A and B are shown apart, each in its own frame.
Chain A
Amino acid sequence: MASHAKIAELFARQLFKLSVVGGAVSAEQVAGVLAYVEKHRPANSVMVLKAYHRLVAAELAKGEAVVEHAGAVDDAMLAAIAALMSRQYGRPVVATAKPRAALLAGLRVRVGDDVYESSIAGQLAALASAV
């Protein structure tokens, strides 16, 4: 079982490498990979596709700034955040807004694994751990 997972992981990684063109995930290449998997049905194809999905999702997340907000966020602010993040990471980053009342006020921006926290909820959590 473990070795199957390992083989599926390796195969998914190869497919993922094929899907990246010029440092970004190409929709055409992804479609090609999916067509190949459907046609040839490799062993443990569900496992392979799950691992492939994880890799692609992680890569796409690097190009997307998810802006969680409790108050209002206008398009200008989103554009400013996108520009800032693009500069920070040296690649095009698109900002998308996602309302989240639990933050109380402020913003929480997620780009890939990095989270920029400037919300009241985050500050209260930091305060709670500092006290």
Chain B
Amino acid sequence: MSTVLEQIEQQIAKLSGKGVKKNTGNIRTVADGVAKIDGLSDVMYNEMVQFPGGAIGIALNLEEDEVGCVILGDLSSLKEGDEVTTTGRLLSVPVGKELLGRTVDALGNPVDGKGPIDAKEFYPVERIAPGVVVRKSVSQALFTGIMAIDSMIPIGRGQRELIIGDRGTGKTTITIDTIINQARINRVGLASGDAKFRPVYSIYVAVGQKNSNIARTVTALEAAGALEFTTIVAAPAADNPANLYLAPYSGAAMGEWFMENGMDALIVYDDLSKHAVAYRQISLILKRPSGREAYPGDVFYLHSRLLERAARLEGKGSLTALPIIETLAGDVSAYISTNVISITDGQIFLETDLFNQGIRPAISVGLSVSRVGSAAQIKATKQVGGKLKGELAQFRELAAFAQFGSDLDAKTKAQLDRGNRIVELFKQPAFSPLPIELQVAVLFAMQKGFFEPIDIRKVVEAAVSLKSFFTTRKDALLAEIRTKAALDAELEAKLQAACEEWKSSFAA
């Protein structure tokens, strides 16, 4: 008991040593999550300010005689005249491995009911993106587990790849698949004891989504065993716009910790359209001048400074960003879409028509691109899928022309037939990412014409059978592809033999 008293006395002695100087102001108005404050003459841009009752705010508008602050937390008890004080600190969030497996809000507070997070470090939410000198070119693959992406639109560690499409086209599913695939690779890699293996940790930032959707995502990740490698930053639609605005930056800070400490991380921003809308709301309430579609003038900077924080650093780790943008009626030329397209290193465009035709993932090969290109692919994938994108694009063109006439020459018919088979082959159910070695095996079989004699309607069934054949009976061959990461003559012969074996069993 005496120790407790001594501690309190020491604290009092420490505090009573000298007076504390604070810079204060008074609330003039509070509305829609934004407070206008008189005073606060010493406040810095983006500084945290303390409101009575424990709520905090961020100073976003510094004017001649008033300060505009967004309020984070409960503002129901705030009233005109309440005193607000500066804190001298920028907004920071907890970072580190302690956050893995947890769901937190935009400020890093746990919202999953699993108790407090014992984080040792804090990073500021807003940070300057790494400069040119410290960056390294993207050359290491980040496998999504989605065959169409890994073979045609490869993503590398440190890349920013936009996922864009209308609502309900499977944008979130692609990112969840990617997170699940990272967890699967992590488990295999860590179990192998390979000292050079670099696991990828994931951060999923949900901006303006329904709580039920976030809960579904958490459940899907948990069911797939991916939650232990993932942090979820939740700023649901019911949160105030300030939290929606901050959540991606908080997630970026959490991802940067991995990058700065020599690890690799993947961050998903789901989605930046709602993020821009939240920022527009804040800006309009702050009475900032509005421009196109009522967005403020700095809406480009809003996303560019966020996405520039994704990088691969020399001598350190990487942060790969998968931002999501929701389009309206497939219009990729909208304001926010074009902004983010120009910032990122490529985009995966999902089409409603393809989705409705049952082609899932509904990736439009013509409009999707990865500016990193084959630099982010392993040699084996390049060997079996290097020409796929061109072939598929040619097929789409031919298919469009074929609609006008029925008389087609044999070569065109063969091309159309092959294209249809590739489309069927790329169909993949949700939450079932494919290991890269299995993708190589399937693509090898396709390139060598093993699917040619099979009826187009049975290609999906055949692909499932082939995958099952390889995973159950050719595990050693898959492991060899995984370790070699390239197909030499010996491996090709083994693959050919395995495919022949499968062909006879499938035909039977």
Contact = CB atoms under 8 A, between A and B. Distances in A.
Interface of A: 2, 13, 54-55, 58, 107, 109-110, 112-118, 122-123, 126-127, 130
A43 B56 CA distance: 38
B16 interface: yes
A2 B25 contact: no
Interface stretch (B33-41, B89-97, B301-309, B397-405): B33-41
B287 interface: yes
Given A54-B38, A127-B11, A118 B18 contact: yes
B287 A113 contact: no
Interface of B: 8, 11-12, 15-16, 18-25, 38-42, 64-65, 85, 287
A113 B12 contact: no
A122 B20 contact: yes
Contacts of A113: 23-25, 39-42
Contacts of A115: 21-24, 85
B15 A127 contact: yes
Contacts of B20: 116-118, 122, 126
Contacts of B85: 115
A110 B16 CA distance: 18
Contact of B11 (A54, A114, A122, A130): A130
Contacts of B15: 123, 126-127
A114 B21 contact: yes
A91 to B, nearest CB: 14
A114 B65 contact: no
Contacts of B8: 127
11 contacts: A54-B65, A112-B41, A113-B25, A113-B40, A114-B22, A114-B24, A115-B21, A115-B24, A116-B22, A118-B19, A127-B15
Given A54-B38, A112-B39, A116-B19, 15 more contacts: A13-B64, A54-B65, A58-B65, A113-B24, A114-B42, A115-B23, A115-B24, A115-B85, A117-B22, A118-B16, A118-B18, A123-B12, A126-B20, A127-B8, A127-B12
A122 B87 CA distance: 15
A109 B22 CA distance: 10
Nearest to A116: B19
B284 to A, nearest CB: 12
A118 B15 CA distance: 9
A115 B16 CA distance: 16
A110 B41 CA distance: 13
A69 B306 CA distance: 48
Nearest to B11: A127
